[in-house]
Amino acid sequence: MAPILLIHGAWHGAWCWDRLIPVLTARGRKAVAIDLPGGGDDQTPLAEVTLDLYAQRVVEALEALDEPAILVGHSMGGLSITEAAERAPERVAKLVYLCAFIPRDGETLLSLAGESDPADVAMETIFSDDGLSITVADETIKPAFYADCSDQDVAFAKARLRPLAMKPGTTQVHVTTERFGRVPRVYIECTEDRAIPIARQRAMAAASAPIEVHTLTTSHSPFFSAPEALADILAGL
């Protein structure tokens, strides 16, 4: 069966998949998680982090696997897996967007996020003085990302969240029908998400049809709050 490559979203790192990977392994699926540049334990300076560098890191991880992988992107990770699929479609068995952004050609993270109703978004962000990065206000971290997660998981995550480089979010994604368009796509929607509201998730999935849709009744981080249910979907692909 195809290995599963897990790509984290904004502010996170490979650590966010720690609970999910053993569950997938128990179901007989090989799962690998990586840090994107500037995320997790990666020490790339924020001034050097770009969407191109994100995609390059994902393609390198795909090429290190023995066969084409199921490529899973969470949240902003949707941009990284989209760009990677455009560059190396032959290395991707399937794209999976986990309550993630699905950019169309020419779109940016900022343009996609701006299409949500601000009243439905629990997150408040703070820009750095040098304009290189953005963080999430501490009091909105739990309602935005981990509303249905345990206090232990929230503390674990808060200790590991890092500032997000600005450049990737302002860079246009470029995809083609011939390359990205030929890769089968799956969307896993999370109905209680307050970072990417369900209406925005469904609009993006509809705009990327044909796409297979699965539903979890969780907030933005089912890898913490519902790893068994998430693993059931991923292992069944």
Write out the catalytic residue numbers: 75
Contact assessment for residue 3 and residue 24, using Cβ atoms and an 8 Å cutoff: no
Running DSSP on this structure, what letter comes out for residue 64? T
- 12 closest CA partner among 56, 60, 57, 76: 76
The answer to whether the peptide bond before residue 210 is cis (omega within 30 degrees of 0) is: yes
Which residues make Cβ contacts (< 8 Å) with residue 114, sequence separation at least 6? none
What angle (nearest 5°) sits at the alpha carbon of residue 53, between those of residues 50 and 196?
Answer: 60
Pairwise CA distance, residues 230 & 37, whole Å: 25
Pairwise CA distance, residues 164 & 146, whole Å: 18
Pairwise CA distance, residues 156 & 153, whole Å: 5
